[in-house]
Amino acid sequence: MSENSVTAIASPNIAFIKYWGNRDPALRLPANASLSMTLSNLQTTTTVIFDDRLEADQIEIDGSPASAKAASRVTMHLDLIRTLSGVPAFASMRSQSNFPAGAGIASSASAFAALTAAASNAAGLELDKKQLSILARRGSGSAARSIFGGFVQLFSGEVNEDGYAEQLAPAEHWHLVDLIAVVTKEHKSTGSSAGHLLAPTSPIQAPRVQDAARRLETCKDAILQKDFRTLAQIVELDSNLMHSVMMTSEPPLLYLEPESISVMKHVTRWREAGLDVCYTIDAGPNVHCICSFEDSHEVEHQLRSIDGILDIYRCSPGNGVALTANNEQAPQ
């Protein structure tokens, strides 16, 4: 079973209906269902090999040995896979992303989606996408969504087995563009895992969760009908609700930076002026400007005139996790 080197590639996703807070932190069962678009162009490539000769997991991220915190999270995930597969060996893992980690572009989503696919395959497990999604969720909630391409829904789940994602529509369904306005490349001071634990301390987490099913249905319908204006309204509301919970938790989390507010205000004005564009912001300050393909070049042009934007990433709906062709075992 061991000594198969397997490489998987996964992309991050941007949540239109956000997941914030867990009903079961140990299992990472989300407090509410969520909906996202998997992103093209950005990706994490992860290679795993289980090797009897290793005396500990060897974990390398972006060319350097992983920090103790990151390594322990990866090892916990490898432990799950060792338990499921019966492969006792330690693993060597190398992971490389082509975008900055921890700055509100869901790096843990692509990282744990790629790790789950590569490690489970290297350990000889034959998991289907639903099973991969459940397992990826244990490493990072939003990773469950990055198993699939296009537009993806993650159920909140009552128990481990029903906390999985499924594809709502393939990438080709609607050519939206996500222009990610990067305003900082620094790693955020409070990571999402710690942040999720704070969600219940906000007096508005419960009503946010309670209203989530309605928002998700509205968003789902807007996507299926390609109704940009309805999408824009519900996506911005959902993003603002999550940041409201964050900034009213104890301690409060203010992920927004001055430049985030500046981009939010510009986006609102551009939409009033007729452009199909809306904003959404994950657990970080970078602003995802979701737009129609038709208006995306004008939006990108306008974004370049705003002070404080360090970089702009252009993404379209992307693919789900995949193994690379040169692996010794075939992908599912």
Q: Which is nearer to a second copy, 233 or 327 (CB)?
A: 233
Q: Which is nearer to a second copy, 160 or 240 (CB)?
A: 240
Please state whether the peptide bond connecting residue 252 to the residue before it is cis, i.e. omega within 30 degrees of 0. Answer: no
Cα–Cα nearest to 111, from 149, 73, 157: 73
CB 48 within 8 A of CB 118: yes
Q: Which of 331, 323, 326, 320 is nearest to 36 (CA)?
A: 320
The yes or no reply on residue 25 touching a second copy (CB under 8 A) is no
Least spacing, CB of residue 206 vs a second copy, in Å:
7
Q: Which of 217, 257, 298, 300 binds a second copy (CB under 8 A)?
A: 257
Which residue's entry shows tokens 């939409």? 271
Which residue, 168 or 256, has its beta carbon nearer to a second copy? 256
Q: What is the 3-state secondary structure (H, E, C) of 210-262?
A: HCHHHHHHHHHHHHHCCCHHHHHHHHHHHHHHHHHHHHCCCCCCCCCCHHHHH
Token pair recorded at residue 63: 């060319």
Q: Are 99 and 180 in contact (CB under 8 A)?
A: no
Stretch that binds a second copy, among 15-23, 112-120, 131-139, 250-258 (CB under 8 A): 250-258
Alpha-carbon distance values, 19 to 195, 239, 325 (Å): 11, 10, 33
Toward a second copy, which CB reaches closer, 9 or 277? 277
Q: Is 159 exposed, middle or buried (0-12, 13-18, 19+ CB in 10 A)?
A: exposed
**Distance in Å, CB of 26 to a second copy, minimum:** 27
Told to check if 224 binds a second copy by CB under 8 A, we report no
Residue type, 160: N
Q: Within 289-328, which residues bind a second copy (CB under 8 A)?
A: none
230 binds a second copy, rule: CB under 8 A: no
Exactly one of 244, 292, 327, 332 binds a second copy (CB under 8 A); which one? 244
Find the shortest distance in angstroms from Cβ 202 to a second copy.
Answer: 9
Residues 195 and 246 sit within 8 Å (Cβ to Cβ) = yes
Q: How far is the CB of 184 from a second copy (least distance, A)?
A: 12
Do the Cβ atoms of 173 and 317 come closer than 8 Å?
A: yes
Q: Which stretch binds a second copy (CB under 8 A): 80-88, 230-238, 313-321, 324-332?
A: 230-238
Residue 282 contacts a second copy per CB under 8 A: no
Distances (CA, A) of 44 to 11, 63, 82, 87, 100: 6, 13, 22, 25, 11
Compare residues 27 and 206 and give the one whose CB is closer to a second copy: 206
Q: Which stretch binds a second copy (CB under 8 A): 58-66, 93-101, 200-208, 223-231?
A: 200-208
Residue 56 Cβ vs a second copy, minimum distance, rounded to whole Å = 37
User: Residue 195 CB, nearest distance to a second copy (Å)?
Assistant: 15
CB 307 to a second copy: min, Å: 9
Residue position matching structure tokens 């104890």: 250
* Interface stretch with a second copy, choices 41-49, 155-163, 207-215, 289-297 (CB under 8 A): 207-215
- Closer of 28 and 243 to a second copy (Cβ): 243
CA pair distance 332, 323, nearest whole angstrom: 9
Binding residues (CB under 8 A) for a second copy: these are 203-204, 206-208, 210-211, 233, 236-237, 240-241, 243-245, 247-248, 250, 252, 254, 256-262, 264-265, 268
